[in-house]
Amino acid sequence: MLNRVERILVAANRWMLILLLLAMSCIVFANVVLRYTTGDSIVWAEEVARHLMVWVTFLGAGMVLRFGGHVAIDNLHGALGTRGARVVRAIVAAGIAVFCLVMTYFSILYVWATRFQTTAATDIPMAWIYAAMPAGFMLMFVHLLFVVRSYILEGRFAESPEMDAQAAASL
């Protein structure tokens, strides 16, 4: 049951990233083509592309964490024995978990504080754009929960035939 939930979460996260990147690419491409062929550009294109990039960044951070694509210095893990390395990895995982939860809380407060501000070109409430922060940090925490056991015990992250740490880092 838990494996099914995990597969659905990863698939939904991946497809959301694909769709957001596709939308952003199409908007930017159309804007560039229009600018160079007609001399006019889409007024809202740059703003919407920027906001989509914010969402892609926060929603993609959990996937990158899941596959071990974030920057890490693991010299200490290698220098310690198996037991010491597990302790260090447990401390690192606990630190990441606390960070994600604290950032989720404070980003919710930030979203609430900006609920009446709107964007310049599209008049969208800024809270919709900033909602990427709590969504991303909570998603990162959930991805961490799925990989924390294998990370602490063996020092490895999730594995997938189509995704590795290098591919995850390029998200």
Q: pLDDT tens, 28-42?
A: 999 999 999 998 889
Specify the higher pLDDT residue, 7 or 133. Answer: 133
Q: What is the pLDDT of residue 170?
A: 59
Angle at 139 between CA 138 and CA 142, to 5 degrees: 90
> 156 is in which domain, residue-wise?
2-169
Q: How confident is the model at residue 100 (pLDDT cuts 50, 70, 90)?
A: very high
Tokens of 134: 């709590």
Q: Is 56 exposed, middle or buried (0-12, 13-18, 19+ CB in 10 A)?
A: buried
Q: How confident is the model at residue 99 (pLDDT cuts 50, 70, 90)?
A: very high
pLDDT tens digits, 59-97: 999 988 988 877 777 777 778 888 988 898 899 999 999
Rounded CA gap, 46 and 91, in Å? 41
pLDDT tens digits, 110-157: 999 999 999 888 889 999 999 999 999 999 999 999 989 888 888 777
Residue 58 is inside which H or E element, if any?
Answer: helix 45-66
| DSSP for 103-166, written as a single string | HHHHHHHHHHHTTT-B-TTT--BHHHHHTHHHHHHHHHHHHHHHHHHHHHHHS----BTTB-HH
Q: What are phi and psi of 125, to 5 degrees?
A: -60, 135
Rounded CA gap, 164 and 140, in Å? 17
Domain count, the chain: 1
